[in-house]
């Protein structure tokens, strides 16, 4: 259709990279793309930590649950929600509301997605690393993130050394609703489940055969990082 | 540099649209772009409500604080965090964690940004409508959003009938940090403040002259939607 839509539709997470570095010009373009995103009320509550220190990379890979590509990828960026800047400028700034937790997460994601697409448009690839939230306090300590700043997620970027298939997404008829929310259609879900099962079978040479229903059921059978609420409060979020 | 990066860097919010509709093919491309975004643990916790009903549009414009373009734009999409689907599939799903509030906000924003860029790549324009969170309960009621679903933000899309300047963003040296978080540099901030002041002066023919420091100070002098915490709890978020 056009290069933008083609780039967007070609997205798949890349977890294996060549040793080729990302050039300064490429990194500059990626970070400028990030900065161009919309920001809620122009509040610009996002910081990016570019981690080049090898020991910090090693530790972040460990904190993320042993994801080796965090250590070895060409660039690792940590995307942070940041209201510390505002408190530096206005010490009595009213921060710490649940609303600001949302704004911080949304604005960080808008910026990061611009960065991901800019990278992909130049033939690079990457993956979001939500695993940093496995050890949110340790990440804060390592990167010296003050109160009101925390890592929403990381991002590995580099030259792809793999070419995975595109993962089938929930059908549009399930994700998009007309005027009113509607419940999931069982038949469409069953078809989609079969599609996901085939995707995993192909990708793993038959070793994995999981439907979407099975996968999300396993994921939501466990508590989701139950420590996050206290963590966010300690960092000056979710207080009010 | 390339069409993707050019599109990203050309972003500015559009709030005035011609009456020309968005074609079915364009809308299809926009929604497919949204679906192609990354999803945390493949959880796919996003729903989009496409609002075409004129009375609903009128009410949403009112709920958003009287933003008329919500009523008149070619397409209005409401981007929702959605864990209801998962509960429909697995009634004992463990949802309601602060972590899932983050995942819902992040995944919704990743999808929405793909949609925005796809639209912009076709010569359309748009604006995010965080104002829907002024009246979150009324929005839920109007769109029949069940428990575990809420509107993170709306999005107006259409053919631009204005050509505003690009707003100057925080300099890279303030937004990007190397290995450790660093405090804001006063001198760089002062230069940026002047740049923002000039931007507003040009845009308003001298009627508005506000620096970034002044603007965020005014914004953060007030409580940020203090009802959101209770609202999120009532909707089955932030319980744990």
Nearest CA in chain B to A44: B170
What share of chain A has pLDDT > 90, as a percent?
97
B65 confidence band (pLDDT: 50, 70, 90)? very high
User: pLDDT tens across B68-101, in order?
Assistant: 999 999 999 999 999 999 999 999 999 999 999 9
Burial B60-94 (b: 16+ CB within 10 A, else e): bbbbbeebebbbbbbbbbbbbbbbbbbbebbeebb
A61-73 average pLDDT score: 97
Q: What is the pLDDT of residue A81?
A: 98
Tell whether A33 is within 8 A of chain B (Cβ).
Answer: yes
How does the average pLDDT of chain A come out, rounded? 97
Q: How far is A117 from chain B (nearest CA, A)?
A: 7
Question: Is there a contact between B49 and A180 if contact means CB atoms under 8 Å apart?
Answer: yes
Question: Nearest CA to CA, how far is A163 from chain B (Å)?
Answer: 16
How far apart are the two ends of chain B, measured CA to CA in Å? Answer: 46
Q: Is B6 a residue whose pLDDT tops 90?
A: yes
pLDDT digits over B31-63, tens only? 999 999 999 999 999 999 999 999 999 999 999
CB A41 to CB B219 under 8 A?
Answer: yes
User: Could you tell me the pLDDT band of residue B122, with boundaries at 50, 70 and 90?
Assistant: very high
Structure-block tokens of residue A152: 């929403």
DSSP state of B21: P
| pLDDT, position A88 | 97
For B215-234, what is the mean pLDDT? 97
Please state, for a pLDDT cut of 70, what percent of chain B lies above it.
100
Instruction: Give residue A206's pLDDT.
Output: 86
Look at residue A166 in the predicted model and tell me its pLDDT: 94
Residue B205: pLDDT band (50, 70, 90) is confident
What is this model's ipTM? 0.98
Closest Cα partner for A129 from A69, A208, A42, A190?
A69
Q: How far apart are CA B151 and CA B49, in angstroms?
A: 9
| Interchain CB distance below 8 Å, B11 and A144 | no
Angle between helices A212-219 and A186-203 (to 10 degrees): 90
pLDDT tier at B1, thresholds 50, 70, 90: confident
pLDDT in tens, A192-222: 999 999 999 998 888 889 999 999 999 999 9
Whether B17 contacts B156, CB under 8 Å: yes
* pLDDT, tens only, A126-184: 999 999 999 999 999 999 999 999 999 999 999 999 999 999 999 999 999 999 999 99
Contact A5/B at CB under 8 A:
yes
Q: Is pLDDT at A2 greater than 90 in this prediction?
A: yes
- The residue with tokens 């508590």 is A223
B157 pLDDT higher than 90: yes
Average pLDDT over chain B, rounded to an integer: 97
Average pLDDT over residues A6-15: 98
Predicted confidence at residue B109, as pLDDT, reads: 98
Confidence of residue B172 (pLDDT cuts 50, 70, 90): very high
Q: Are A114 and B112 in contact (CB under 8 A)?
A: no
> Which residue of A lies nearest to B34 if distances are taken between CA atoms?
A8
pLDDT at A1: 83
The distance of Cα B98 from the centroid of its chain, to the nearest Å, equals 20
Longest dimension (CA), chain A: 58
Q: Is A193 helix (H, G, I), strand (E, B) or coil?
A: helix
Beta strand pairing call for B46-51 and A176-178: parallel
Of residues B32, B23, B51, B46, the one with CA closest to residue B156: B51
Q: What is the pLDDT of residues A21-43, one digit of tens each?
A: 999 999 999 999 999 999 999 99
């Amino acid at each position: 259709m056009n290069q933008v839509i083609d780039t967007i539709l070609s997205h798949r997470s890349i977890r294996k990279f060549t040793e080729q570095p990302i050039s300064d010009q490429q990194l500059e373009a990626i970070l400028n793309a990030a900065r161009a995103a919309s920001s809620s009320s122009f509040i610009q509550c996002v910081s990016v930590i570019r981690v080049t220190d090898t020991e910090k990379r090693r530790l972040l890979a460990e904190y993320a649950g042993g994801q080796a590509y965090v250590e070895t990828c060409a660039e690792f960026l940590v995307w942070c929600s940041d209201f510390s800047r505002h408190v530096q400028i206005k010490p009595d700034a009213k921060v710490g509301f649940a609303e600001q937790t949302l704004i911080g997460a949304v604005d960080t994601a808008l910026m990061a997605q611009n960065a991901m697409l800019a990278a992909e448009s130049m033939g690079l690839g990457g993956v979001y690393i939500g695993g940093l939230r496995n050890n949110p306090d340790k990440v804060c300590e390592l990167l010296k993130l003050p109160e009101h700043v925390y890592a929403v997620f990381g991002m590995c970027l580099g030259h792809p050394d793999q070419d995975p298939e595109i993962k089938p997404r929930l059908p549009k008829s399930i994700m998009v609703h007309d005027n009113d929310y509607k419940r999931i259609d069982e038949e469409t879900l069953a078809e989609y489940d079969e599609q996901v099962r085939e995707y995993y079978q192909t990708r793993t040479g038959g070793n994995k055969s999981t439907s979407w229903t099975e996968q999300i059921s396993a994921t939501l059978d466990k508590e989701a990082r139950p420590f996050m609420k206290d963590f966010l409060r300690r960092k000056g979020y979710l207080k009010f």
